[in-house]
Amino acid sequence: MATQKAEKEPTTTYATAALQVITYKKLQNKINGVLKQYGLNVTQWIIMGRLREKKSGLRTTDLAKFINVEVPLITMVSQPLLGRGLLDSTKSSTDKRAKLLQLTDRANELMDTVELRMQQQLQGLMKDIPRQELNTYFKVLQTMQSA
């Protein structure tokens, strides 16, 4: 009869909090390690990813709502991306007062490179986790985010 390794579930709030914090730090260290090589931070990476999904562009207010931060943070974080030629700022065709941020071709190329490197880096951390369990994990995060 095969014995399975018993999985220990956190039973107290402090154990749950410790598990979350320790895991978060491991993920952040891996992610930040890759992004630093390309002169990016996590907020910039999220902005670029969201703009990649919304090819027509987004206002800073839309980006701020998406990641639940104040608009000035988006403005501050996007300035270096504009300066590096990774973002363009254009006027909205529907509202001349609004400016839209969009990715440049250069940014899309950089994102392809970083995404590949990021997947390689995270693969080691997640190598022993079955795909179904990862999918469940992401569903749990999405459910908690919308709560």
Q: Is a pLDDT exceeding 50 seen at residue 23?
A: yes
- CATH tag, 36-123: 1.10.10.10
Query: Residue 10: its pLDDT value, please?
Result: 65
- The chain-wide mean pLDDT, for the chain, equals 90
**20, 15, 23, 34: which is closest to 125 by C-alpha?**
23
pTM of the model: 0.83
Q: What number is the average pLDDT over the span 108-119? A: 97
φ/ψ (deg, to 5) at 98: -90, 140
- For the cut 60, the answer to whether the pLDDT of residue 6 exceeds it is no
- In the predicted model, what is the mean pLDDT of residues 81-104? 90
Q: Are 34 and 121 in contact (CB under 8 A)?
A: yes
Give the pLDDT confidence of 38-73 residue by residue, as tens digits: 999 999 999 999 999 999 999 999 999 999 999 999
> Is residue 5 pLDDT above 80, yes or no?
no
Higher pLDDT, 89 or 2: 89
* pLDDT exceeds 80 at position 127: yes
Sketch the domain layout of the chain as residue ranges. 36-123
